[in-house]
Amino acid sequence: MRQDISANEAAPTACSRPISVPFVLKMASNYGIAVAFIALCIVLSFSSDVFLTWSNWTNIIRQTAINGMLAIGVTFVILTGGIDLSVGAVMALAGVVGASLATTPGEHNIVLVLLAGCGVGAFLGWLNGVAVARLSLPSFVVTLGMLSVARGLTYIFTDGQPILNLSAPLLWLGSGSVLGIPVPIVALVLLFAVCWFVLQHTVFGRHIYAVGGSEKSAATSGVRVGRVAISAYVISGLTAALGGLMLTARTTAALPQAGVAYELDAIAAVVIGGTSLSGGKGSLVGTIFGALIIGTINNGLDLLGVSSYYQQVIKGLIIVGAVMLDASRRNK
């Protein structure tokens, strides 16, 4: 009996075991972005009395919705090891094309408007994908060129003038609500749910990660690497087009200069959310938190009266810090 008691006393319980460093690192990797977001909200709540109000948070999420849509599509591309710098210009072109079919007076089919805008985005994304996957051109160069092409086509299409007098169904996408929830937020949630399911529970999603992890290994395993890469760019173009239509509806006009530098916010959201720029690692949950962090920072700095020039500096430092953290994780 004495020996049994001594043995029990000597054996450490689960509660008394020290927390290992790998365990802490794993928890930080899995939940660090959520903790960072909560900490940011706590700090800003002490900085401004308006920050935690319902109206302010509705505004934050509504603004985040558009960047979140772009970031979801960019996540697919970055997971394959590529990059898409054209989403800001693509969303502008899709917005003006959709708006041109929805000007008053007269009745307009909102489905046709959505199909036209999303069709433009998907086609430009397909061109990006073909150039990268079939012609083996660097994604940075291809999408940078598409940024210029799409922006130029936007100005040609509109002659540099905004498209006004949009129909009520299109405007509803930006100002309407479903069960009291703003339409852009509903659209973001639905888009996230579909894309999350695709990445986590379909063969195509596993192929996306496989291509980003190692193209050679994926090809050896029978993955159609080129087809997967092209599909990722098409998805990025589609989400950019959807974001462009939402932005057009929110601003009540299709502006040819819309979406300038939006690609930077989208890429920043993806990188801050933990997706590796080398591909093969990341999640849409992290991307959404990354978009929320960017939107919260922008809102908080606005409430504090910080100049937009300083906001660009802060945002740039955050992007560099996230990339450095990603490089550090890869080296380890």
Distance CA 97, CA 110 (A): 13
User: Can you say how many angstroms the Cα of residue 280 is from the centroid of all Cα atoms in its chain?
Assistant: 16
The larger pLDDT score, comparing residue 31 to residue 300, is at 300
Tens-digit pLDDT profile for residues 46-70: 888 888 888 888 889 988 999 999 9
Tens-digit pLDDT profile for residues 282-306: 999 999 999 999 999 989 888 888 8
- Burial, 99: exposed, middle or buried (Cβ in 10 Å; 0-12, 13-18, 19+)? buried
The larger pLDDT score, comparing residue 188 to residue 30, is at 188
Do 239 and 291 form a contact (C-beta atoms < 8 A)? no
Q: What is the 3-state secondary structure (H, E, C) of 181-213?
A: EEHHHHHHHHHHHHHHHHHHHCHHHHHHHHHHH
**pTM of the predicted protein model:** 0.87
pLDDT of residue 122: 97
pLDDT surpasses 50 at 15: no
pLDDT surpasses 60 at 32: yes
pLDDT of residue 1: 45
Tens-digit pLDDT profile for residues 99-146: 999 886 655 688 899 999 999 999 999 999 999 999 999 999 999 999
pLDDT of residue 20: 55
Mean pLDDT of 13-25: 51
Q: Which residues contact 237 (CB under 8 A, 6 or more apart)?
A: 73, 87, 90, 121, 122, 123, 124, 125, 126, 128
Largest Cα–Cα separation, the chain = 93
